[in-house]
Structure 1
């Protein structure tokens, strides 16, 4: 996988972003008085144990107790789900049961749609947002599309924010941790005009200096500075009608901390240049995101049915630039003067920008009668205009490298593009209860997707396009910096697809505490364009939709007087045209499809309260993907990958928690907590095995066991408290993602965060 394929997307979402309006029609707690968790995964309020879908729910309080601060961290407590950042903190790659997105460019679309209060965040560069003031998160596994929103072939994640209340309330917290981390959360809400208008305002801010140190100047690398503000206004228009308005704005300013797995060495002494959390970086790099959102959700009670109108507008801007030669052998030249190496002004910069403007409209009609038949009928429309750029810039100021000649020189390849996307869909799901125990579900969806691409590509052509690097900002080059446009090429394409999805399920409740279910679903991921053209204009290709036929069965049990809840699910997926990124013998990178792929596995989740003061949770999942038929173009020609394991699969995920709430007299409470998550290493490329000895000695990412400890002291009413915490107690330094880059003879890798000590204080009224 070439690094520049990731550039445009690895920017946006580390913003403390989407403000999430409540999905439910009232500000319902995620848990009833009896302890039952209430969800809206099927667009109506139901107990979690009554929903025949594999779903994990994390409440807002749980998210705060784990100190989850961005969207990627929730997967630590969700079996068979992962989220891998690309070149920085933004644009995560979400994976559900092994199915994931191979293309990180802003023009792509994911098999795991991300929703913020029913508003789709379509652009992948907007999906790594900060978490704050949330009611809960619902993570659904398996194809979705018959109930709401956009097409989904693997699953969906819904982030739901706390809704304005009819009484005045507020909260605040501040935390301080290692590496200069400071975080501030503030929220206040309540009535504005009598009982009919309620509002809520929330703020999030975070500053982190980074986990790595630049041994050139001693400064920290990997900064994460972000802030976001969100406002909600809940208005009762009439006794049977209400509207929830939302506005949010946020910014993120960061720097990727990807480090070469095999660091550069001193050619004369063999000394490795830097320790495990050090890197030699001369040029620097950056990523930034700006996010704006306006949305509304109107609800009208029409008696037998309810009508929901959901409208959203998103404006997302991003930029990223990173120097892939920094910290590698090719970026260092020991000139023999002195004991240490000298950093040359050698550039190998990959970067990109993106500006997405998205509008979406959804209409849903939901039955509200008590009969055996219930239904949802809806329509969905999405339109996105995307302007983007992507570049690769290489050169040096020293003249030390012969292929650049004796004078300072550089070359630049640059693509600019416009993509227009529109999608329309009709969907419906019907449930029929034969009796109190047996229910049949039938759902369907038809969607019409259109995409158009206008891409201009300026490539170097011999020495005539070498430019003077002194005249170019290597981290912020412009299309106009390409001085020779004689080789300018243009690609204009249009594609459209008609797709269908469906769901057939049967669930049986032999008792109120037991649910058995089986389902057959068909999911679709829309086709896409490749906008990462950096070698040849032919790279700007397109692929058709990805489809999955999903078989699933599961059981949900409530035991021991509701003190134990256990959910188990097993699945098998038959996938056609599984989207991939491939590189041919001319180093050109394309979107491609594996003709046939299968995924299978299972997951188990259990929650127990054996005694009133103790809560224990355990989750475990295993999944594996295998290519049944896949001929991959490679640098040495086509290779049959059939029978190989799909990257990112064939591994276990395990998570757990033990928490005690110990009263101190009648006025205070002390709560020790230990939680962990384990991720087994997996293959990182389609060939499995070691890609090349000079790139990496390992064929997989590392196993990672992450243990965290927390101790909270608070008053008996849980209004004020202080928490001391240690994250990654064992200080494990593990490779959690690998990106082999052939032209560097190296592997750019992402690592587990270091052991971190910290303290947080919180209060609410």
Structure 2
């Protein structure tokens, strides 16, 4: 660990002191209780936090006993955040140290944890945040955008997860768990309608199928009308709309000592790709140009997006007395086509008033994924829960075969195809892992784990048609790597309601390849990145099990971080490695019943990131901007000391629910949620223009439920203050911006069986 700065010492000391103080005071009236998530208050009944079980280490454990920095997002929260048809991007700033953004619309989210992520927009991009859906890793970025519905919970694991989840999880893991079938009949239906024609309908139904079989079917449909006018073509409400549909079918066979769960799922998406706003950012400012309108564009290119994904997985579990054997087999398949007006403006104005929308040159491109197939297999043998010693060992296999097509169209020649390239890649990876948990005394527990991973890729790209006269081209790369990763954790039980832990963990991201050759004659290969993280945390419950407070501080050092230099004046996206990246910060989560009818949750984080590579330089904007970094002899920006892109220093989230009982089983309620993130830079270099100001965004629900919460009707508002801000940018042609969605107001009804 490197020497800490005064700022770092202050942050760490303050966080530890606050956590210990609150943890100690919380136990004054504490019972031997477990931590949890607030449930909906029930009129006339005592309320407390219900136990939350998690599977962060691939066995069921109480959240408060797992020595990992993590946040659990419950169905109530997910429903509130996603009322206006939000995708998985709704998780941005909803948990400490978690941020998300996209330049690809609804189908391609990019996540960051503790500042670590990847801004690459290629369909072959690798990410350091692993997305795991029903125990199946979603490797391709297109698979990561599967909608959130009928979920039991979402677990956000911060820090390297190299032992249990392996490669490509050095920043952390976001783990989604669907509601599983059972013999009991259960289900729900939820419908809403709001402004911009925003409609959401989802439902689930499960129960016995006879004998030892049970099943569950769940489905989602989301729609929004087009709401953005293209005043260049004269088409009203031509952009911004979508139809997003998904379904999940599950069947479970359960007998003594054996369980089998079959899952089949699919998604269909048709709509608008990311809407780029050409010339939206003025020189020397990170604001919008005067007169900017979120619901109007001037574009001469085309825009459309289509996606279809489907997959299946099979979970088999055998209880062998003192041991449990688990087999998890997964299959995922995807195809997509996404076309956009990348320059976001026009080439030929129809009148002088349109001159401000003219861009340097037209860019109309599309990416397609005609073939993506992923197969995974995991086998684990674990001891059944014991008082002192618990262990598990396992093996993992991953296979992926993808094909990517890149297209360029001549906007001024009736959109004729003038550029075409084909990428293909086969990835094979395997790993063996093991972990042990030993309680040395009643107050002290040690966990340790290790994993050996091997990864190889076979990449090829062929350029058949060049938009800039480059001619045919054929290139290939075959990176491979093998690594050990692991973790060591000690947990001290100060009393039944306070645990303190220290954790050392490492992880890695496998080598990756970038092969967008429409405008370049080379491919780039990034060496594997490695990370070592140190974490100190506390987990507490108190106030008669009405309060949970967890906090941690951390420090990490990453070597050879894989970074993506996007665009710039050379109009090329390439992979680079930074010699060293340092990060440190603090995080906390809190949930409490302030009164039986008032539930409050809060979370926050401070994240400092800094690149340490004196000679690392990247191309700067080609669109005119105010670069704040020193330049080398070639005119490239030296980025040593810069923070990572899309890495806000501060993140805060707050939810509050207040209920007013009415009658024997009814309740009027108000629910509000707010999230804050500080300024972020969009690129590796720093400039006055390409960054986003701090953002505070909130939502509100006003409603009534009856029959002890089984039925509910509510009015809702998302982006309550109608905040308008820049979420991303393109820098190679003009100062192009991506913009957040407007305020959506609507009504919702839900009923449970």
Q: Per the shorter chain, which TM-score range? A: 0.7 to 0.9
- 1:499 equivalent to 2:483? Answer yes
- 1:262-319 per-residue CA deviation (whole Å, 9 max, x = no partner) reads 3499xxxxx9786233112343301211011111000000111111100011111111
Q: What is the aligned partner in structure 1 of residue 13 from structure 2?
A: none
**What SS does the corresponding residue of 1:73 show, helix, strand or coil?**
helix
- 1:708 equivalent to 2:699? Answer yes
Q: CA contact under 8 A between 2:107 and 2:142: conserved in structure 1?
A: yes
Structure 2 distance, partners of 1:144, 1:340, is: 52
Greater mean deviation of Cα atoms: 639-648 or 180-189: 639-648
Q: 2:585 aligns with which of 591, 594, 601?
A: 601
CA apart distance, 1:344: 9.8
Q: 1:731 aligns with which of 722, 728, 742?
A: 722
What's the TM-score once normalised by structure 1's chain length? Answer: 0.85
CA apart distance, 1:171: 1.1
Q: CA contact under 8 A between 2:230 and 2:296: conserved in structure 1?
A: yes
Structure 2 distance, partners of 1:214, 1:145, is: 47
**What SS does the corresponding residue of 2:142 show, helix, strand or coil?**
helix
Q: What is the aligned partner in structure 2 of residue 755 from structure 1?
A: 743
Q: CA contact under 8 A between 1:707 and 1:729: conserved in structure 2?
A: yes
Q: 2:194 aligns with which of 158, 177, 184?
A: 177
Q: What is the aligned partner in structure 2 of residue 375 from structure 1?
A: 391
Matches within 5 A, 1:153-168: 153-168=170-185
- 1:80 equivalent to 2:97? Answer yes
Q: What is the aligned partner in structure 2 of residue 307 from structure 1?
A: 325
Q: 1:433 aligns with which of 439, 448, 473?
A: 439
**What SS does the corresponding residue of 1:644 show, helix, strand or coil?**
coil
CA apart distance, 1:614: 1.1
- 1:129 equivalent to 2:146? Answer yes
**What SS does the corresponding residue of 1:132 show, helix, strand or coil?**
coil
Structure 2 distance, partners of 1:585, 1:449, is: 34
Q: CA contact under 8 A between 1:145 and 1:427: conserved in structure 2?
A: no
Structure 2 distance, partners of 1:341, 1:537, is: 34
Q: 2:246 aligns with which of 228, 234, 237?
A: 228
Structure 1 distance, partners of 2:220, 2:415, is: 45
- 1:105 equivalent to 2:93? Answer no
Matches within 5 A, 1:282-301: 282-301=300-319
Matches within 5 A, 1:416-427: 416-427=422-433
Structure 1 distance, partners of 2:384, 2:355, is: 73
**What SS does the corresponding residue of 2:680 show, helix, strand or coil?**
coil
Q: What is the aligned partner in structure 1 of residue 71 from structure 2?
A: 56
Structure 2 distance, partners of 1:513, 1:261, is: 55
- 1:414 equivalent to 2:420? Answer yes
CA apart distance, 1:204: 0.5
Q: What is the aligned partner in structure 2 of residue 19 from structure 1?
A: none
Q: 1:547 aligns with which of 518, 530, 544?
A: 530
* Distance change >3 Å, CA 283–CA 640, structure 1 → 2: closer
Q: 1:209 aligns with which of 221, 225, 243?
A: 225
* Distance change >3 Å, CA 430–CA 627, structure 1 → 2: same
Structure 1 distance, partners of 2:351, 2:739, is: 31
Q: CA contact under 8 A between 1:136 and 1:159: conserved in structure 2?
A: yes
* Distance change >3 Å, CA 446–CA 342, structure 1 → 2: closer
Greater mean deviation of Cα atoms: 37-46 or 92-101: 37-46
Q: CA contact under 8 A between 2:559 and 2:580: conserved in structure 1?
A: yes
Q: 1:689 aligns with which of 687, 690, 711?
A: 687
Q: What is the aligned partner in structure 2 of residue 634 from structure 1?
A: 619
**What SS does the corresponding residue of 2:90 show, helix, strand or coil?**
helix
Q: CA contact under 8 A between 1:490 and 1:537: conserved in structure 2?
A: no
* Distance change >3 Å, CA 380–CA 494, structure 1 → 2: same
Q: 1:199 aligns with which of 215, 218, 222?
A: 215
Structure 1 distance, partners of 2:661, 2:516, is: 58
- 1:422-446 per-residue CA deviation (whole Å, 9 max, x = no partner) reads 1100111111111111011111111
**What SS does the corresponding residue of 2:693 show, helix, strand or coil?**
coil
**What SS does the corresponding residue of 1:207 show, helix, strand or coil?**
strand
CA apart distance, 1:150: 4.5
Matches within 5 A, 1:510-529: 510-529=494-513
Q: CA contact under 8 A between 2:423 and 2:460: conserved in structure 1?
A: yes
CA apart distance, 1:332: 3.9
Q: Name stretches of at least 5 consecutive residues in structure 2 with no aligned partner.
A: 1-35, 40-47, 283-288, 621-633
* Distance change >3 Å, CA 161–CA 682, structure 1 → 2: same
* Distance change >3 Å, CA 312–CA 243, structure 1 → 2: same
Structure with the bigger RCO (C-alpha within 8 Å, sep 6+) is 2
Q: What is the aligned partner in structure 2 of residue 321 from structure 1?
A: 339
- 1:358 equivalent to 2:342? Answer no
Q: What is the aligned partner in structure 2 of residue 589 from structure 1?
A: 573
Greater mean deviation of Cα atoms: 60-69 or 655-664: 60-69
What's the TM-score once normalised by structure 2's chain length? Answer: 0.86
Q: Name stretches of at least 5 consecutive residues in structure 1 with no aligned partner.
A: 1-28, 266-270, 398-407, 466-485, 691-697
* Distance change >3 Å, CA 584–CA 190, structure 1 → 2: closer
* Distance change >3 Å, CA 165–CA 637, structure 1 → 2: same
Structure 1 distance, partners of 2:246, 2:415, is: 42
CA apart distance, 1:591: 0.9
Q: What is the aligned partner in structure 2 of residue 644 from structure 1?
A: 642
Q: CA contact under 8 A between 1:213 and 1:220: conserved in structure 2?
A: yes
Q: What is the aligned partner in structure 2 of residue 404 from structure 1?
A: none
Q: What is the aligned partner in structure 1 of residue 552 from structure 2?
A: 569
Greater mean deviation of Cα atoms: 632-641 or 201-210: 632-641
**What SS does the corresponding residue of 1:723 show, helix, strand or coil?**
strand
Q: What is the aligned partner in structure 2 of residue 187 from structure 1?
A: 204
Q: 1:142 aligns with which of 152, 159, 167?
A: 159
Structure 2 distance, partners of 1:282, 1:510, is: 66
Q: CA contact under 8 A between 2:418 and 2:465: conserved in structure 1?
A: yes
Structure 2 distance, partners of 1:127, 1:537, is: 30
Across the two proteins, how many residue pairs are aligned to each other? 683
Structure 2 distance, partners of 1:184, 1:56, is: 27
Structure 2 distance, partners of 1:226, 1:584, is: 33
Q: What is the aligned partner in structure 1 of residue 542 from structure 2?
A: 559
* Distance change >3 Å, CA 542–CA 758, structure 1 → 2: same
Structure 1 distance, partners of 2:740, 2:521, is: 37
Greater mean deviation of Cα atoms: 172-181 or 29-38: 29-38
CA apart distance, 1:220: 4.1
**What SS does the corresponding residue of 1:610 show, helix, strand or coil?**
strand
